[in-house]
Amino acid sequence: MESEQQFTQELDRFVNVAAAAFLVGVSRQTLSKYVKQGKLAVYRSKIGTFLLKEEVVRFKEEKEVKEREALERKRRALSESVRGQVE
């Protein structure tokens, strides 16, 4: 039971590192080298940096969308008020 749990943990750790390597564009040879050296923290760091950059990009995009929506609402309100004054 213990060895099965240990195997599962090692497999999960390897899969996480492999996914991180894929996301940050690291070669298979580099991945295996770091796994053999036990330097999985390098990939955790790289994937963290990658995800942080993605989060910043997503935040900026959401902010731009909100600003555009606010400008559109202001434009509609202004056109409604102009229409009301004309009538």
Half-sphere exposure of 49 (CA within 13 A, CB side): 9
Interval 50-67 mean pLDDT: 78
**Count of other CB atoms within 10 angstroms of residue 35:** 16
Model confidence at 3, pLDDT cuts 50, 70, 90, reads confident
The number of domains in the chain is 1
0.85 surpassed by pTM: no
pLDDT of residue 74: 94
- Per the prediction, the chain carries an average pLDDT of 74
Confidence of residue 62 (pLDDT cuts 50, 70, 90): confident
* Per-residue pLDDT band at 6 (split at 50, 70, 90): confident
Domain that holds residue 68: 2-86
